[in-house]
Amino acid sequence: MKSGQAEIMETSKGIQKSGLMSRRIAILEFILRIVAFFNTIGSAILMGTTHETLPFFTQFIRFQAEYNDLPALTFFVVANAVVSGYLILSLTLAFVHIVKRKTQNTRILLIILDVAMLGLLTSGASSAAAIVYLAHNGNNKTNWFAICQQFNSFCERISGSLIGSFIAIFLLILLILLSAIALSRRH
């Protein structure tokens, strides 16, 4: 009798530790989703409000640089906006993971959606990174000149928005790994 009770006690302690660890992972996931949201929405806003005008010879002839002049930067803004919207909506499921124990189906759903959003955000950030590279360095073989010497604030803002987006990519990877760890602890 005593050995059977000891086994039950050890099993219940293991379940309690597993439940506590799952709750901690769920809280960490919730916080990471909030931080990733602010990175993506900040990147979208920073890129979307980027605009610089330079005079050319006279006051009436001007050169302008805007994010929507280049489709890759427009895609970057849209991708960040979509991912930030997703992250806000996914906070409800992340909150459910904190409150409830049996959340295997919603964790699987979040992993699938997180991977899709990771792909979207990575493609948007990568396409914008190629344009930012050209803006900073140009390409002599194709006669594309570096514009960052003239449009300093434009280049600083688009580079800063890329940093926020790549931080969000890293956070999404962490979220996927944490969800997978939480799922593996349940079985």
Question: How many domains does the chain divide into?
Answer: 1
Q: Could you tell me the pLDDT band of residue 63, with boundaries at 50, 70 and 90?
A: low
Q: Which residue has the higher pLDDT, 16 or 179?
A: 179
Q: Which residue has the higher pLDDT, 157 or 64?
A: 157
Q: Which residue has the higher pLDDT, 58 or 75?
A: 75
Q: Could you tell me the pLDDT band of residue 5, with boundaries at 50, 70 and 90?
A: low
> What is the tens place of the pLDDT at every residue in 128-156?
999 888 888 888 888 777 877 777 788 88
Tell me the residue range of the domain where 68 lies: 1-185
pLDDT-wise least confident of 10-19, 46-55, 67-76, 128-137 = 10-19
Show the 3-state SS of the chain: CHHHHHHHHHHHHHHHHHHHHHHHHHHHHHHHHHHHHHHHHHHHHHHHCCEEEEEECEEEEEEEEEHHHCHHHHHHHHHHHHHHHHHHHHHHHHHHHHHCCCCHHHHHHHHHHHHHHHHHHHHHHHHHHHHHHHHHHCEHHHCECCCCCCCHHHHHHHHHHHHHHHHHHHHHHHHHHHHHHHHHHHC
> What is the tens place of the pLDDT at every residue in 47-60?
988 877 666 656 66
Mean pLDDT (the chain, rounded): 84
Q: Which residue has the higher pLDDT, 13 or 94?
A: 94
pTM of the model: 0.82
Q: Which residue has the higher pLDDT, 118 or 107?
A: 118
